[in-house]
Structure 1
Amino acid sequence: MSSADLRYPRQTLLADYGRATAGVLLCGAPLLLLDVNRWLALILLLGFLLFAVFLARTALRHHTRYVLGPDTLCADGPAGTMVEWNRLDRLKLSYFSTKRDRSDGWMQLSVGSAGGRMIKLDSSLDGFHDVVERAAHAAETTGLPLSETTRANLKAMGISVAGQEEKV
């Protein structure tokens, strides 16, 4: 298996930059231009900080590339780290719904290996399914126990892991 260079799509990043910038401006401008009472100022400041963190997170995602190799997953960027598949000790696949009927949403994969920081990826990443498949294979190889939720989400993606069948 050769290495794959993965990034978040340009359109997704541009949309996130737009949302973050709009939030920073809409929350920050009144603080600078108007005389607002302290309770409203506190709410606006909290909103400003939230959108500023989202803007920083988007910039971090923009400047990070992920290299999926046969032995590792490497996050190459400002907060880079590496997961060694043969030392995998953490794997969590979560689904976040945006509708009550769970018909729309996104998935987030969190993986880590002994002594390293976690890598968190969401399903908008190009090649996300390949990373999840590789992580599931590594979990199977290392015998890493998976939560019921992670197993259900893997099954929803069409990925099965031997030895991780649901308990009856």
Structure 2
Amino acid sequence: MTEQTFGRYPADTLKADGLRSAGGLAVTLGPLALVGFDAHPLVAIPLLTGAGLFLWLGLRTLGRQQTQYSLRSDGLGFQTNFVAAILRWDQITGVKLRYYSTKKDRSGGWMQLTLQVGRRRHSIESQLTGFDAIAARVAELVLERQLPVDATTQENFLSLGHYINPS
């Protein structure tokens, strides 16, 4: 297998997440800034907790913006400005594929592929360029190594056109 390098997550997806993060920080930290951070703890703690979550979303979005993936013969490579790593195929111990719907009729949403290596997990969302190729390789891996997967993961792979034998 030759190495296939994929781009990053689409800019429009990341832009929306960045705007959500900035808006959330403004809504949570804005009131605290207006009162000079002397708010009562019953008000300050929930606002600071919310601000922490929105900060995490912003940092996660920034990290996703910097990450580039490559499908390699020995594993799935990913690289940021600071870190380069490979999730080796022979070390993957678990696979989950989940669908998250944004509408009641399930017409909108995204998939999240989670690869487990020991206790560490790495998730990839379907907005990533090349997600289908990565999912196809992981489906082959599940069949080759007879990795245990749950019924939901089997159904989601099937919706992508990959049949995985029940384990």
**TM-score band w.r.t. shorter chain:** 0.7 to 0.9
Residue equivalent to 1:96: 100
- Which of 63, 67, 79 is residue 64 of structure 1 equivalent to? 67
Runs of at least 4 residues of structure 1 off by over 6 A? none
The one-letter amino acid paired with 1:3 is E
Alpha carbons 1:88, 1:142 under 8 Å: kept: no
Residue equivalent to 1:2: 2
Q: Give the C-alpha shift of residue 37 in structure 1.
A: 3.8
Q: Give the secondary-structure state (helix, strand or coil) at the position aligned to 2:162.
A: coil
Cα deviations across residues 94-131 of structure 1 (Å, max 9, x unaligned)? 11112223222111001134x57322101111111111
| Identity, % of aligned positions | 35
Q: Give the secondary-structure state (helix, strand or coil) at the position aligned to 1:8.
A: coil
Residue equivalent to 2:12: 11
Residue equivalent to 1:30: 31
The one-letter amino acid paired with 2:4 is A
Q: Give the C-alpha shift of residue 15 in structure 1.
A: 1.6
Unaligned runs of 5+ in 1: none
Alpha carbons 1:81, 1:117 under 8 Å: kept: no
- Measured in 2, the distance between the counterparts of 1:116 and 1:4 equals 27
Residue equivalent to 1:107: 111
* Closer/same/farther in 2, CA of residues 11 and 76 from structure 1, 3 Å limit: same
Cα deviations across residues 123-166 of structure 1 (Å, max 9, x unaligned)? 111111111111110111111121111001001111112xx149
What TM-score, normalized to structure 2? 0.87
- Measured in 2, the distance between the counterparts of 1:120 and 1:79 equals 16
Residue equivalent to 1:147: 150
Unaligned runs of 5+ in 2: none
Alpha carbons 1:82, 1:116 under 8 Å: kept: no
Alpha carbons 2:94, 2:148 under 8 Å: kept: no
Instruction: Count how many residue pairs are aligned between Structure 1 and Structure 2.
Output: 163
Q: RMSD of aligned C-alpha atoms? A: 2.0
